[in-house]
Amino acid sequence: MEKIEHIGIAVKDIVSAGKLYEKLLDTVIYKIENVDSECVKTAFLQSGPNKIELLEATANDSPITRFIEKRGEGIHHIAFDVEDIEAEMQRLKQEGFVFLSDKPKPGADNKLVCFIHPKSTNGVLIELCQTRKDMPM
Ligand code: ZN
């Protein structure tokens, strides 16, 4: 595992949250992207080396809807960069970590992603992400 790639924050309203985080970080959202497989809309901000992903649900059965119902708005996940997501999943499965999906999936911002179940990681949803090599940056 390498550096923290981004921190994901669940929000009810990505437009107003986006404006607030633009003010907070003194920057602008550089990308807004829907991830239909996860029923989320994402917005990315970069602050120095740090990246924040805002997530808004686009459906009532979105994982973000369920998260906000249970825990309210707030930090949703921490994402780590990995070189080889398949190898890292293999390693972590052998260590007993439970994943939310068997295979990596296309995620936002040109990544292949997978999530470790928060029950495996003291209540913190961990995302692994690998930059896709088949697409331009
Ligand atoms: Zn993420």
Report how far ligand 1's centroid is from the alpha carbon of 8 (Å).
Answer: 5
Report how far ligand 1's centroid is from the alpha carbon of 97 (Å).
Answer: 18
For residues 16 and 3, give the distance between their C-alpha atoms in angstroms, rounded to a whole number: 29
Nearest to 2 by CA among 86, 88, 76: 88
Report how far ligand 1's centroid is from the alpha carbon of 95 (Å).
Answer: 23
Report how far ligand 1's centroid is from the alpha carbon of 44 (Å).
Answer: 10
Report how far ligand 1's centroid is from the alpha carbon of 64 (Å).
Answer: 12
Per-residue pLDDT of the chain (137 residues; tens, 9 = 90+): 889 999 999 999 999 999 999 999 999 999 999 988 889 999 999 999 999 999 999 999 999 999 999 999 999 999 999 999 999 999 999 999 999 999 999 888 889 999 999 999 999 999 999 998 765 54
Report how far ligand 1's centroid is from the alpha carbon of 70 (Å).
Answer: 19
Report how far ligand 1's centroid is from the alpha carbon of 112 (Å).
Answer: 10
pTM of the model: 0.91
pLDDT of residue 56: 98
Report how far ligand 1's centroid is from the alpha carbon of 7 (Å).
Answer: 7
pLDDT of residue 98: 97
Q: Which amino acid is it at 99?
A: F
